[in-house]
C-alpha cells in the first residue's frame, strides 16, 4: 500500500488525527505499507502548523520525497506547489505501477484530479 500525505494530512497528523496516526504506525510496523511526504507539501504543512516538518521527517515510517528536476518541471505549471507535488508523487512509477493514494483532510480539493483519495475525516 503506497500512500502520499498531502499538506492537510500532515498537519492533521501533527494534531493527533487518529487515522493519520494509524497510517504512520502501519508504515513503520507492517511490511508492504509505504508512506510518502512530498517536500513541497511538507513545507506548506509546516507553515500551517510550525514543527510539523521536523516531526514528520523524523518518523521512521515516512519517506520524504525530494523535489527533483522532473517533479519541479511538473510543478512549474501548477498554482499550488503542495498539492501539485502530492499529485506528482501519487502518479505511477516503476516502483509503484498502480501509483499511490493521496491521504487528505480536504477530499474535495482532489475532485477532478487523476488520483485516488483517502479521506482522513472518518
For the chain, the average pLDDT equals 93
For the question of whether the overall pTM of this predicted structure is more than 0.85, the answer is yes
Instruction: Tell me the per-residue pLDDT of 21-61, one tens digit each, with 9 for 90 and over.
Output: 999 999 999 999 999 999 999 999 999 999 999 999 999 89
Whole-angstrom distance, CA of residue 80 vs CA of residue 88 = 12
Mean pLDDT of 74-103: 90
Whole-angstrom distance, CA of residue 109 vs CA of residue 35 = 20
Amino acid at each position: 500500500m503506497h500512500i502520499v500525505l498531502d499538506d492537510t494530512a500532515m498537519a492533521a497528523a501533527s494534531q493527533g488525527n487518529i487515522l493519520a496516526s494509524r497510517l504512520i504506525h502501519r508504515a513503520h510496523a507492517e511490511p508492504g505499507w509505504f508512506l510518502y511526504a512530498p517536500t513541497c507539501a511538507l513545507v506548506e504543512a509546516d507553515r500551517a502548523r510550525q514543527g510539523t516538518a521536523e516531526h514528520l521527517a523524523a518518523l521512521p515510517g515516512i519517506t520524504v520525497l525530494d523535489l527533483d528536476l522532473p517533479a519541479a518541471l511538473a510543478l512549474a505549471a501548477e498554482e499550488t506547489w503542495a498539492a501539485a507535488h502530492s499529485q506528482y508523487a501519487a502518479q505511477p512509477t516503476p516502483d509503484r505501477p498502480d501509483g499511490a493514494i493521496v491521504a487528505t483532510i480536504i477530499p474535495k480539493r482532489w475532485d477532478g484530479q487523476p488520483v485516488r483519495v483517502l479521506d482522513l475525516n472518518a
